[in-house]
Amino acid sequence: MRRGTRPARSALPFRQVRRTRTVERERWQPTTWTARWRRQGTLAGVSCATWGHGPFGRLPDRREWQGALARVWPTRASKSVEARGWVRETPTVRDHMEVSRGLWLRRWSAGDVPAVLTAFADPLMRGQATEPVTSVEAAERWVSSQSQRWRAGSAFAFAVVDGQDTVLGNVAVGAIDRRHGTGWVSYWVTRAARGNGVASRACRSLARWSFDDAGLVRLELGHRVNNPASCGVARAAGFAVEGLQRQKLEYDGVRFDVEMHARLATDADPDRITTV
């Protein structure tokens, strides 16, 4: 290779170099991570010898980089690293999809603030948010938090809407553990939408999305034992009962047992079960 020429990108090991633009020219220089790798011989506590032979070993591949970066900076990996285009911590996923005829799931947006405020005005919605949603500002914070968690890849919340884009409820998968492929499912519907199977249909679609798009393997959810409606939604969405957590929650000085449900990616899809 002649001096002053730039090597072909395809000829370079993955993430070995990065391109830095200057006013006069383009030049190539080792990344901070690569420099640290070769200087210290370790990354995230793993010896470079683990990935090859020789004095420095080979550079890790894409999956190995992703795991190492996640161990060093779990939250920063989805921001600075993804912003530089090194590693995509959060997979590309659909942000809207059709549940059934006239029923859709889509991401929450700023225009949903009035609908959120109306939904949380229902006394039965108490406890569905970390803070009371009793003002426009609180509703804006609630919607903003859903977007922040989506971008970070820690939770994915969908607004359940009808054909006229009227908000009927919410389904979400949060507490995502990428290492173990698990997530926690939650859901609620507005007063006008209850009793029509909206929650169960939306929850089934969310489960398929979590397995197919988010790459999760196990989904969990729980409900108070005095909430048979929520239990019916879980069962209709294919979540099997796994046990009881005694006196886990407290409301108004009264403690409640919580029934646990779970669904695996290998479990039968309720929408595809045929009876003979």
Strands (E), the chain: 17-21, 26-30, 42-43, 46-47, 96-100, 103-107, 156-162, 167-177, 182-189, 218-224, 240-251, 254-264
- Inform me whether the pLDDT recorded for 79 exceeds 50: no
Is residue 171 located within the same domain as residue 261?
yes
pLDDT score at 252: 85
Structurally, how many domains does the chain consist of? 2
Strands (E), 167-253: 167-177, 182-189, 218-224, 240-251
pLDDT tens column, 238-268: 999 999 999 999 988 999 999 999 999 999 8
3 lies in some domain = no
85 lies in some domain = no
Query: CB atoms < 10 A from the CB of 193, how many?
Result: 20
Contact 233, 243 (CB under 8 A): no
CATH code (residue 155)? 3.40.630.30
Residue 244 phi, psi (nearest 5): -130, 130
- Inform me whether the pLDDT recorded for 183 exceeds 70: yes
pTM of the model: 0.66
Is residue 177 located within the same domain as residue 137?
yes
pLDDT score at 77: 44
pLDDT tens column, 152-170: 999 999 999 999 999 999 9
Report the alpha-carbon angle 214-218-220, nearest 5. Answer: 110
Is residue 148 located within the same domain as residue 105?
yes
Q: Which two tokens stand for residue 126?
A: 């108490």
pLDDT score at 91: 55
